[in-house]
Each structure stands twice: as C-alpha cells, then as structure tokens.
Structure 1
Amino acid sequence: MTIIRSGSQAPVKGPAEYFTGDVTIEWQFSRDEPARLAGALVRFAAGARSAWHTHPLGQTLIVVSGTGWHQCEGEPRQEIRTGDIVFCEPGRRHWHGATPDSPMAHIALQEALDGKMVEWMEKVSDEEYLAENRADA
C-alpha cells in the first residue's frame, strides 16, 4: 500500500509553456505499470487556462470549486461548475480553465498509453478564450 500524505507534496506552478495565467498543480500522482492512472488537483486563477491538448485514453475532470470553461475543438465552449464531471474522449483536442471572473479547481484524471498521458499543443489565444460561445472559437 502507498499513501501520499496530505501536505507531503509542495504545490507547483503550472508550466508557462502549457498554461496561461496563474495555475497551481497539487496532489500530483501517477501509478507504476501495469497501472496507467495519473492525476492531480489543478487550481486556475480567474482568467487562467490550459493550452490546447489531447490525451491518448481521454481525460476525466471533476470540478471541485469555482466556475470554468471547457471546450473541445469544433464544439461550443461549455461552462463547468462545482460538482460537474467532464469526460473528454481519447485523442480529442480540447482546453479548460477558469472563467474571467471566477477561479476554478478540478481534479484531473488520465491514463497513459505507452507511457504518454498528454500531448500539448499551442496556447489558447485571448481571442479564442474570450470568443462568444461558438463552435468556431
């Protein structure tokens, strides 16, 4: 059995190459093979967001506080709130983060395929982030 004790991991700043704004990553974990699960608590300050990215086996987000946005490419941006659970399909290009007026935190869970959990892409531009709720944003 492994227990990662509360407070035993220092929060880390979300890397600027993958996030815009103030993002903190806490409770980060991953399992050794043959298990594939990894996860973290990710906190977004108001206006902060991830870059576009995909996950080879999909991703599950559990919103634990605040209000945020999630958008899959080609679909309208969706508001997500405390208690919402979001599943993004394998290989689907997407981004997520806080709204301009509210911080948001979620637990992110994803599995590795051949050792890879995420493929990062370009940052979400301010224009894309602030676009009205359109599929072409």
Structure 2
Amino acid sequence: MELNKRQPTIKGPSDWFTGDVYLDRLANGGELSPLSVGSVHFTPGARTAWHSHRGGQTLYVTEGKGLVQAHDGEVLEVTSGDVVVSGDGELHWHGATPDYYMTHISMTIGEATWGQHVTDAQYFGPSK
C-alpha cells in the first residue's frame, strides 16, 4: 500500500491546451496501479489539443458544459453526469463550451500522444 499526499493544482501546459486549464492529479499511475486520474478544470472556451491515449480514456463530467469530438466525428455537448469513453489510440479532443466552465475527471492507463491544437473552425463547427 502506498499513500500519496495531494499535490498542488497546476496550470495545463500550452502545448496540450488552448486557453486556461488547471489540473489536479488524483492518482499518478505507477507500479502498484497503472491508473492515472485527474480532475481537469476548463475555463470557458478552453480545450485540449487533438490527442489519443494508449489504453483509452474515460471522462466523467462533474460540472458545467463541455464539448467532445472524435476525429472525423461530430462535436457533441456534454454536461454534468455524462461519461465519455475514447478507445485505445482514438484521436479526440475535449473542453469547455464558449460560455461555461467544465470540469471532468480523466481516467487513463496509458500515455497520451499529443497532436495539433484544435482550430477555432473545428471548435465552433462549420456554422460559425
């Protein structure tokens, strides 16, 4: 058994995010358990870059309104209580809507591979 003390909140790196995003690491993944868990707080309009996870990713939305999109899929709105599952290696992004904060719990086993930033045209969709 291992006890890990709570770490300070950190600002998400600009290589991974557009806008202001804050991360609270809840479980770091390691030898005893490979599961990484984080609470991710997105300010309005903030979002991840395109990315994928070895082993997939599960998101549990805890508050606010957000947007998610798989590569070549449509942008979907999510709200508190929604669960989003991305498969092993599935390219996707997620973030807050333009007018609301959004927080989700991120659960992963494998490392993330980060890609290009989501453009405003991708974020707002073809009608904007």
TM-score range, shorter chain: over 0.9
Query: C-alpha separation between the residues in 2 aligned to 1:26 and 1:34?
Result: 20
**Structure 2 unaligned spans of 5+:** none
* Counterpart for residue 113 of structure 2: 119
Query: C-alpha separation between the residues in 2 aligned to 1:34 and 1:119?
Result: 23
**Structure 1 unaligned spans of 5+:** none
**TM-score after normalising by structure 2:** 0.93
> Residue 109 in 1 paired to residue 103 in 2?
no
Q: What's the C-alpha RMSD, in Å, of the aligned pairs?
A: 1.5
Counterpart of 2:116 in 1: which secondary structure?
coil
* Counterpart for residue 63 of structure 2: 65
* Counterpart for residue 43 of structure 1: 41
Q: CA deviation at 1:34?
A: 5.6
* Counterpart for residue 2 of structure 2: 2
2:125 aligned to which of 111, 126, 131: 131
**TM-score after normalising by structure 1:** 0.87
The percent of aligned pairs where both chains have the same amino acid is 39
Q: Tell me which stretches of 4 or more aligned residues in structure 1 moved more than 6 Å.
A: none
Q: CA deviation at 1:36?
A: 1.6
